Structure 1
């Protein structure tokens, strides 16, 4: 394996490890969020009756105002529970979907550019082969004539000495032949030199095209890694979002935009967060999307079960990616 191939493989392996570390960070952060949310819910069960009553009253009032305006805006097309799970991570979902669409577009464009780059490289390699062959022929011709000229000179010198030919009588003819031979050798040398320069020029062009192609391949690996990251993130972290919810996602975004302008909802949401902060809840803002779990025992158990399932899944994925990093030996 040559140095370029080894460096290319090292770079690819390094990129894979960077991606695996991104997954590890993703799942670690998600597990921390879930644990904090579970801790809040478990804390509710341990609080004093009057404290729990204050939280339950604030949650009921918030949900009452929210439900009244939600059902008016949603027109019964989606339930409040389905909407709230989307609303909780709406911005994250919108940003993620936008990023995925953008990356997919970049990937298609890069694939086209890489295809053209490979075709150009193949064509240039063929041209370089032809130019090198021409250069070899030019060098062979030049050195052949040089050897022939040297041999002729030696033969002529031996003939003059052996047969005592009066060279001075043929000085002009000898000079003319010498000049012609020198000019011919000079012409052949220039042709050989030009062929060598052409080889260097095309090899330099090949180097530039090779560098451009490797940059494209690097961009392609980066985009493929980003897409892999977002595909898994959506597949794993948002698995609890049903197909029906996804189909109504754009509709939910419109509903969300109208609800965010509701002064009453904002007022009650702030009051609920104030009460939760009063009792030192870790993630008070998250409970705007699970208000019924704060006063309905059935919803409380379902929410706790959902959080536990999500945490277990994230822990499994975390172990998987940590194992990949450990096995690579590049941590």
Structure 2
């Protein structure tokens, strides 16, 4: 199965007026010392409802089911490291249905507190996303709730891809979009929308959460180690088939960065620009600040800062 540009366009029409349009801001001096000059922007998607791009996919998913007449009174359930759960709870509240969110017990307290603030029922299960996912599946089967997905669903990925559609409208001469990758929902949507316009996508992962990188090497989704400071949002054990298909079709480049490089990028955002994002969002920027990805002279690059559900006192 492949995501199509038509899927992203349909999502854009479906969620218009229900999410915040992305803001882009000029950036400068993003590369390491001695690198060739290039033009750069930040896509400030952390300003989105719930603090991440996930609101787009969640709203598209529930709105599509509402339009199809199959959004149950039992509501929706989801397993999440935190951000997808927040988005699902927010979208469910807007749709007037209950949300039950399953999280690993290791989820950051700031995300648990916000979930409860959105009115969600929170269930803490196990220590990894896979365990929370199994519990959510059992809950849906037992009670009739609609099972949503953190990233592995065409409606979720298409909704996420609408951010690239908006970026292109604001920066039509863009060459490259740089985006962090966890399970691959955001990447799939962004690569599909960007590829439609001839814009390439750089997929950035922590070295110890390399689900897409490993999947591309193997030719199919495979299980990987999950051990990174960014694992709370990029800690998927395996990527999606949609992500692998999008990477191949649009010839995306896969880049790995270390935890130290992620931490340095996050600190640089704060010290230079007073921007606070979570480690997962800083992962995309780390590709540039570390020199793991070096744009060509004059290349026009946009880095998606995709989320800010973090405790700013923790560095």
TM-score, normalization by structure 2: 0.23
Higher strand residue share: 2
Higher helix residue share: 1
Higher CA-based Rg:
1
